[in-house]
């Protein structure tokens, strides 16, 4: 691991040093596990109380947090935002990324009609189909499958086991993590005409993914029945998410793990969706909306609102209902006493 003086770190994060300055940092660790050569961080007053018992050599401290009385002589780097400052420090300590050599691995199968840009890396056991286009500097790790007539912009990184189905269009600087599936059939079925079985509905559309999108491991983005399922520029999707056919997701959305978005729903720009949220089909989620974890969204939501609960409601309404529900046992007891008195009278 590299080492840095507190002065070097403070300059890197645009922070101000207080306390001891003759300190060298060799690692990063949380407060309760830090050693005497580690840097840690405090983003809220809640964690400031743990500082007294921590061995951390240096602490990144948000400007809004007061230094505990027994820590006033310890080494501190004051910053506006401790989380953002920590990100910058992590970059300094991150091990160098090992990039595969450009070229096609001998075990890969690449169609003669595929077009590969400069400095492309095609790893072991990859399969590249007919008329596929892959842009400059893309890295496909081992066992990636790209089906026919798909395209990929420049400097994408596709990790092991990813499957990109036919006609998918992927922008520039896209990262797709292990075993995600882009462009599989949408889930479309109806009862057969004779009433004796189920008929599969064809899906002849595709998936269009914008620039700087990241899709987590084991997530699925289904292709459209017709037209396209779209993911806007800058959107980040966590692991184990399901984006159904004909869904339209806007720019710079954050979608946490295990979210399911049903077919033909529209999600605006800058939406934040917590873990395990379920969103029904054919509704519209406005731009800037925030959805709390485990919310079950059953209808349209206007721009900028925060919703929570099952079924999901605007947060103030949902909070009042939660309070009322907690009072039900007490109210039920009062009701039983009242009913008993009424019978006696």
3-state DSSP assignment of residue 176: strand
Tell me if 133 sits within 8 A of 114, measured CB to CB. yes
Give the chain's end-to-end CA distance (angstroms, integer): 81
Torsion angle (degrees, nearest 10) of CA 219, 223, 225, 229: 90
CA distance 116 to 136: 7
**Does residue 262 have a cis peptide bond before it, meaning omega lies within 30 degrees of 0?**
no
Instruction: Give the residue numbers marked as catalytic.
Output: 245
Torsion angle (degrees, nearest 10) of CA 174, 238, 293, 259: 90
Tell me if 45 sits within 8 A of 65, measured CB to CB. yes
| Residue (of 15, 58, 12) closest to 35 by Cα position | 58
| Residue (of 325, 330, 266, 254) closest to 293 by Cα position | 254
| Residue (of 298, 236, 230) closest to 266 by Cα position | 230
The pair of structure tokens assigned to 96 is: 């160098």
Spell out the alpha helix ranges (H) of 230-327. Answer: 315-326
Residue 215 neighbours by CB distance under 10 Å: 29
């Amino acid at each position: 691991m590299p080492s840095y003086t507190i002065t070097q770190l403070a300059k890197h994060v645009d922070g101000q040093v207080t306390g001891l300055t003759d300190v060298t940092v060799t690692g990063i660790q949380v407060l309760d596990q830090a050693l005497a050569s580690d840097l840690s961080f405090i983003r809220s007053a809640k964690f400031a109380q743990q500082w007294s018992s921590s061995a951390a050599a240096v602490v990144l401290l948000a400007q809004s947090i007061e230094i505990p009385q027994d820590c006033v002589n310890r080494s501190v780097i004051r910053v506006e935002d401790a989380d953002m400052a920590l990100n910058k420090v992590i970059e300094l300590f991150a091990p160098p990324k090992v990039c595969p050599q450009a070229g096609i691995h001998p075990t890969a199968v690449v169609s003669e009609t595929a077009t590969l840009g400069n400095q492309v890396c095609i790893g072991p056991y990859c399969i590249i189909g007919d008329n596929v286009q892959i842009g400059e500097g893309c890295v496909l790790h081992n066992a990636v499958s790209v089906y026919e007539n798909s395209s990929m912009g420049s400097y994408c990184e596709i990790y092991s086991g990813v499957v990109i189905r036919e006609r998918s269009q992927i922008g520039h600087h896209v990262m797709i993590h292990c075993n995600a599936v882009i462009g599989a059939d949408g889930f479309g079925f109806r009862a057969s005409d004779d009433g004796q079985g189920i008929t599969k509905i064809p899906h002849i559309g595709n998936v269009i993914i914008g620039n700087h999108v990241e899709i987590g491991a084991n997530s699925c983005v289904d292709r459209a029945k017709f037209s396209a399922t779209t993911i806007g520029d800058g959107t980040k999707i966590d692991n184990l998410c399901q984006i159904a056919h004909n869904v339209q997701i806007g720019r710079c959305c954050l979608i946490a793990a295990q979210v399911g978005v049903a077919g033909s729903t529209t999600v605006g720009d800058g939406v934040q969706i917590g873990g395990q949220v379920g969103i029904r089909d054919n509704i519209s989620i406005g731009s800037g909306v925030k959805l709390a974890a485990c919310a079950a969204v059953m209808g349209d939501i206007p721009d900028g609102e925060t919703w929570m609960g099952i079924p999901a409601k605007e947060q103030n309404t949902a909070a009042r209902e939660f309070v009322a529900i907690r009072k039900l046992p007490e109210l039920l007891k009062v009701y039983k006493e009242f009913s008993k008195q009424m019978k006696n009278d």
